[in-house]
Amino acid sequence: MSLRKGVRVLTPNGAIAPTGTWSVGARAGDFLFIAGMRGINPANNSLVDGDEARIRQAFLNMKMIAGSEGADLPDCVRLTVFVTDMQRLRTVVNKIQEELWSGGPYPPRTIVEVAALNQDDFFEVEGTFYSPKSR
Amino acid sequence: MSLRKGVRVLTPNGAIAPTGTWSVGARAGDFLFIAGMRGINPANNSLVDGDEARIRQAFLNMKMIAGSEGADLPDCVRLTVFVTDMQRLRTVVNKIQEELWSGGPYPPRTIVEVAALNQDDFFEVEGTFYSPKSR
Amino acid sequence: MSLRKGVRVLTPNGAIAPTGTWSVGARAGDFLFIAGMRGINPANNSLVDGDEARIRQAFLNMKMIAGSEGADLPDCVRLTVFVTDMQRLRTVVNKIQEELWSGGPYPPRTIVEVAALNQDDFFEVEGTFYSPKSR
């Protein structure tokens, strides 16, 4: 965890390893900003197979990083979801979120179909969380 | 409106009905996070016809949700706009924003052309607002 | 700089000129929201030639606007990067960020390939910064 002028870059144990010029998350004030997460298994840094399993892994990667700063999925205030096939994947995303959020309530979400993701992946989720330091 | 550890999920009367695992908005601290809004008429939950009318409706849906927490369009701090045809729709977005923001000033905006949106729609806007509780 | 109910629209000298219904940035509380920046030279408002030069210019445009409110690149808490060719441009983005962030640490980043950007451009970056007023 690096200290900068108020911004704290997050480097929790067990998170996936950044493969480029990015960190997995940052805290500023009471908010946590998590990098776009894909379904990479942090144990071996390789993509998980299968639509459901890969999407679940991406959400779990996000949850793990938020958890390192005291936030859980209900503390999420914004999800932006990028898929490469809306038709096939939106229902899968809904199913996995039902499971992980235990039926809700759910955070505000935006879901769009993009042309491509890194490593020709099909799912990426960007999450913002609220985790007041004084609570 | 559900109470969670500091995050308040917004469920204003008259807003569109979420059709999946998402809420229309959330408050955390002084910020409001509104889900990606499309041009759905909340009266019948169906898409409005016509480029201008549909885009206007999407912005009005966003405005309505922000309004339920004391914010209006000038309190918007970030707009991310997703269209499926930049050439055709960017000028329409500009026109509708001129109308709704009464000539400005306008919030920072990012506009990108994506491959597809839910329901084969052509416009979606994600907005973040500032609405200090103490003001 | 316009005063609104708590939101301050940023209009720094030397920033690119908005060509539509948007501002280059806004401050709300301790956060700065910068509009999606492309590699436009603010001196003549035209696109810079070349992958590296254009991407560098976009980041510098963002940095300049954040700088007008006391923030520098290490104060960035979220980057969302939109490219039109992941294969060709992701490595260039990494290279330019290494240069501008002096080897890191880096902010959380999400990078996606979209169908198109305004003016048929190939790179746009949206940044959020933390710049506490009381520090």
pLDDT in tens, B80-135: 999 999 999 999 999 999 999 999 999 999 999 999 999 999 999 999 999 998 64
Q: Is residue B135 part of a domain?
A: no
* B116 contact A CB<8A: yes
Strand partners, C5: none
Q: Is residue A135 part of a domain?
A: no
Q: Is residue A83 part of a domain?
A: yes
Per-residue pLDDT, C2: 45
The token duo for C93 is 């983005």
B12 CB-near residues (< 8 Å, 6+ apart): B24, B25, B64, B65, B67, B68
Which residue on chain C is closest to B132 by alpha carbon?
A: C6
- DSSP 8-state secondary structure symbol assigned to residue C114: -
Which 3 state secondary structure label does DSSP give B36? strand
Neighbours of chain C (3+ CB pairs under 8 A): A, B
* A55 contact C CB<8A: no
The whole-angstrom distance between B23's CA and the closest CA on chain A is 5
The token duo for C56 is 């560098």
Answer yes or no: is pLDDT of A109 > 60.
yes
Spans in chain C with pLDDT lower than 70? 1-5, 134-135
The whole-angstrom distance between B47's CA and the closest CA on chain C is 23
Answer yes or no: is pLDDT of B59 > 80.
yes
On average, the pLDDT of chain B sits at 95
End-to-end, the C-alpha distance of chain B in Å comes to 21
The whole-angstrom distance between A67's CA and the closest CA on chain B is 14
The token duo for A4 is 């900068």
How many domains is chain C built from? 1
Q: Is residue C124 part of a domain?
A: yes
Q: Is residue C135 part of a domain?
A: no
CATH number assigned to the domain comprising residue A97: 3.30.1330.40
Answer yes or no: is pLDDT of A133 > 90.
no
Q: What is the DSSP string of C54-97?
A: HHHHHHHHHHHHHHTTT--GGGEEEEEEEES-HHHHHHHHHHHH
Q: Is residue B30 part of a domain?
A: yes
Report in angstroms the alpha-carbon separations of B27 from A55, A97, B2, B97: 26, 20, 11, 24
Tell me which H or E stretch contains A18.
none
Tell me which H or E stretch contains B81.
strand B76-83
Q: Is the Cβ pair A26, C108 closer than 8 Å?
A: yes
Residues present in chain C in total:
135
Which residue on chain B is closest to A78 by alpha carbon?
A: B33
Size of interface B-C (CB pairs under 8 A): 100
Using CA atoms, how far apart are residues B119 and A135, in angstroms rounded to an integer?
Answer: 41
* C33 contact A CB<8A: no
On average, the pLDDT of chain A sits at 95
Of C24, C31, C118, the CB nearest to B90: C118
Which residue on chain A is closest to C96 by alpha carbon?
A: A21
pTM for the full model?
Answer: 0.96
**C-alpha closest to that of B109 among B61, B77, B72:** B77
Q: Is the Cβ pair B107, C22 closer than 8 Å?
A: yes
**Which chain A residues contact residue B82 at CB under 8 A?**
110, 112
**ipTM for the complex shown:** 0.95
Q: Which domain holds residue B77?
A: 2-130
* B75 contact C CB<8A: yes
Q: Is residue C37 part of a domain?
A: yes
The whole-angstrom distance between C20's CA and the closest CA on chain B is 6
Q: Dihedral of the CA atoms A133, C81, C7, B135 (nearest 10)?
A: -30
Q: Is residue A41 part of a domain?
A: yes
